[in-house]
Structure 1
């Protein structure tokens, strides 16, 4: 892939008294500058373009803060896309041109923690570190050492068309149990059977995040760490198979799109163009469903976010999504870079995210969002959310699409028993080797 041209924002920034750490995660002596206004140097920061689109005022707030405090330090900040960032980062690391600070999706951190690309950090140097959302903090921790700082969290929820449910069932509320939900979905499917390709529940076949939520609901897992010190696949275990079969049954019953191999990337558009009554999605996908082109603005008052009902009368466990901020191991400006991360994830900064209905990195600031209609479902789901195995080779498992290929094979006719056995064999080959 072509490397993205950095749109550098030259602004003064950062240096502060922080606890430095060596790359093995052990705390080093504090780095102190008697007069921060005389500090010099350049710090490069890579953020995802979400920050540019969704909270540019936060970026500006932090930049202004640094500019006032450390006027002789240059900050070069650039925005990157999820599709290209990993290739760009790998190329930069190989060329010894890695940024000082990089934003990583929480499924991306393991690879870089294991291969030594990230600097160890002192947890006590960051706001709310004793109250970070555990599932997010775990994505920054390897061998009990911290290598990044939680930035924001996310969880999947039900997004549904309340008008459709009202018309079909007599109630605009989504049922709170799965048994009641499937009864309602049957009525929605019947009401809109004249709409070609309409899915009462649009659940894509290769949607492994959803599939693993059902696996988790039954007490199963993707992989486990055993007493011999190795990870091994556990999708063939009875509980995992039970959850996977439950997911498969829902897909086959309610997905009427005509192609069960299409993934969830454009599911918001399916809902937004009134080809679905309900999707299991990130909360932000509601915005796509009511946006011009990707959706229908007129549906603004009809589409609602709720907790997704799961098996056994409980909410469906959600994958914990989100982002982390890391300092790269070979930075020449560790104290500067660490201080930038500290300020960007401060209580003040996290409040900007919370005010925009984005889940902050800590339980204290998360609490008010549990009672806010726009955020309640995700905020309540995030504390008990599941995450991918914290194994050295998990990146390779994802890169080789082991779970997606397993699901595709099932919808092509392979049995769950055979498909999970094959998937576990592939996982066993990959998961213990640093990717």
Structure 2
């Protein structure tokens, strides 16, 4: 829920674009009198009704003469709706749109996004943005997606089972993690429940080793699961997965891992901290007995790499309200509203410098610590097609079932390469 190139050229381009916009004033045709309407599309579930109401009232108070119209969108089918807005077709319009951080590349390929490099540098503190959000929104050094919020996986653990195994503090390195999990894996108790196809977790282990899922070389994307660094990440996944009874041929939703954990005989799962609420709902006896820690890294100095999910904000090139759209983003990414959103929704703020605002929330604090090492999937507009076929899942199951890792990885890498390089 990443890579920047040609930064100097991008900034120069942005400066030129800004100068051109200044010349035309950036106002809509209806700005001669009365209120101007600015439309913000947010995705269902991203922010509470109360947050939206308070933000809207504050924004309109700070910007007299502007009516902010917030429209909630469903994730299903959103790609076609956004593309229609970017193309100026379909009858709907928006001035600011929330999109998934890994979706930006496909919208850049489609065309119609406004470049926001200069505003990011000058107004929004882009040097402190979480890379897992900012890098997917940057294409060839030009920034199109502005980080809004992040969410990533942490380790949720059963405090009673840890205490019973004599573990007083959560592990901070892979070596400590394996040693603790071995102590916890005994009898009917699972040291960790890790399904065989949780490829987001595998991606983090691969990144920790210095590998990647795919890389771009001379404009061509190539799958790299068969790289020795990526293979090392898979080997660690196999070692950890073997310290529990997670199914080798299923992901974390089959069955839902929160339900398995709620039975009380699983010491750890890897999940967004929000799953704690699902666990407690399924087994109220576990309330107050759940803890959180960042996925450990190779050394104690920093947490492990994690896949960063979350949202970016984009501005369609065809908007007649670009200046006001910039004002909306300026407000949404301000410290005030980043703090409000993070505390209301238990998200990670968009900047490393704001991680402290969730210190009172154990789950969100663990997530924020891990987010500093956040990454995203390859910035190919066709990565969604890879996920649809998901050769990574099949590869993981093959290895866990005893197939030669290098052979299985080569097969998966070839599929990734073919999908990313094929013409649509």
Please state which band the TM-score falls in when normalised by the shorter chain: 0.7 to 0.9
Inter-partner Cα distance in structure 1 for 2:184 and 2:45:
35
Structure 1 vs Structure 2 CA RMSD: 3.3
Inter-partner Cα distance in structure 2 for 1:331 and 1:362:
27
Alignment partner for residue 139 of structure 1, among 136, 139, 148? 136
| Alpha-carbon spacing, 1:165–1:418, altered in 2? closer, same or farther (3 Å) | same
Alignment partner for residue 17 of structure 2, among 26, 41, 58? 26
Contact 1:370 1:376 in 2 (8 A): yes
Deviation at 1:297? 2.9
Structure 2 residue aligned with 1:6 = none
Inter-partner Cα distance in structure 2 for 1:332 and 1:433:
36
| Alpha-carbon spacing, 1:125–1:111, altered in 2? closer, same or farther (3 Å) | same
Deviation at 1:235? 1.1
Inter-partner Cα distance in structure 2 for 1:107 and 1:129:
18
Contact 2:40 2:71 in 1 (8 A): yes
Alignment partner for residue 249 of structure 1, among 239, 260, 267? 239
Alignment partner for residue 393 of structure 1, among 379, 382, 393? 382
Alignment partner for residue 61 of structure 1, among 46, 54, 60? 54
Deviation at 1:125? 5.7
Is residue 2:282 matched to residue 1:287?
no
Is residue 2:314 matched to residue 1:317?
no
Matches within 5 A, 1:268-287: 268-287=258-277
Inter-partner Cα distance in structure 2 for 1:29 and 1:207:
46
Alignment partner for residue 46 of structure 1, among 16, 41, 47? 41
| Count of aligned pairs between the two proteins | 401
**Which whole-Å deviations, capped at 9, do the CAs of 1:248-304 have from their partners, x for residues lacking one?**
2322x13414x32321233233223325210111222222222x2xx3233121100
Which stretch shows the higher mean deviation, 99-108 or 363-372? 363-372
**Which whole-Å deviations, capped at 9, do the CAs of 1:357-407 have from their partners, x for residues lacking one?**
422112322245468644332222222222222234323322332322332
Inter-partner Cα distance in structure 2 for 1:242 and 1:62:
46
Deviation at 1:124? 4.2
Q: TM-score, normalised by structure 1?
A: 0.81
**Which whole-Å deviations, capped at 9, do the CAs of 1:122-180 have from their partners, x for residues lacking one?**
3246433343223322122111111121101223211100111212x123533333333
Contact 1:102 1:326 in 2 (8 A): yes
**Which whole-Å deviations, capped at 9, do the CAs of 1:94-113 have from their partners, x for residues lacking one?**
74335332211212211112
Matches within 5 A, 1:13-412: 26-27=17-18, 28-30=20-22, 31=25, 38=33, 40-53=35-48, 56-68=49-61, 73-86=66-79, 88-90=81-83, 95-96=89-90, 97-121=92-116, 122-124=119-121, 126-167=123-164, 169-191=165-187, 193=188, 199-226=190-217, 228-251=218-241, 253-257=242-246, 259-265=247-253, 266-290=256-280, 292=281, 295-311=282-298, 315-356=303-344, 357-367=346-356, 369=358, 373-411=362-400
Unpaired segments ≥5 residues, structure 2: 1-11
Deviation at 1:203? 0.9
| Alpha-carbon spacing, 1:216–1:363, altered in 2? closer, same or farther (3 Å) | closer
**Which whole-Å deviations, capped at 9, do the CAs of 1:191-221 have from their partners, x for residues lacking one?**
5x1xxxx632111111111111111222221
Unpaired segments ≥5 residues, structure 1: 1-20
Contact 1:397 1:431 in 2 (8 A): yes
Deviation at 1:412? 5.3
Inter-partner Cα distance in structure 2 for 1:301 and 1:116:
49
Q: TM-score, normalised by structure 2?
A: 0.82
